[in-house]
């Protein structure tokens, strides 16, 4: 079974649902997408180095098999979900505290 693929996609879907549920509208902000592009820019060389050498290995039975250079596509989904989820919670708690 492709567990990592499923979990990576679920992390993105949960982040989208959380953004809507908490009404933080993070995904509608230009600043978020600029930050996402910067993160991807730095993710490619660092993750590419780790996956291109035998430093980080993945079991092919848990992946779709699609790679961007040497990086499994699931890494991009998982990273997006993780970072987005964190930013959404950050915005939500700042707003609740009255800082925004």
- pLDDT in 10s for each residue of the chain, 100 residues: 588 888 999 999 999 999 999 999 999 999 999 999 999 999 999 998 998 888 888 888 888 888 888 899 999 999 999 999 999 999 999 988 776 5
Q: How many other C-beta atoms lie within 10 A of the C-beta of residue 47? A: 20
What span, in angstroms and rounded, lies between the C-alpha atoms of 16 and 10?
Answer: 10
Beta strands in 5-89 (DSSP E): 67-68, 71-72
pTM of the model: 0.81
Number of domains composing the chain: 1
Domain enclosing residue 43, as ranges:
3-97
């Amino acid at each position: 079974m492709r567990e990592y693929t499923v979990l990576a996609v679920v992390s993105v879907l949960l982040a989208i649902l959380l953004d809507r549920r908490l009404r933080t509208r993070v995904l509608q902000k230009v600043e978020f997408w600029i930050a996402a592009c910067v993160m991807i820019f730095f993710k490619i060389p660092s993750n590419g180095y780790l996956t291109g050498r035998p430093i980080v290995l993945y079991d092919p039975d848990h992946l779709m098999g699609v790679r961007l250079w040497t990086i499994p596509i699931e890494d991009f989904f998982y990273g997006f979900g993780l970072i987005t989820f964190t930013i959404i919670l950050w915005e939500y708690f700042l707003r609740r505290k009255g800082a925004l």
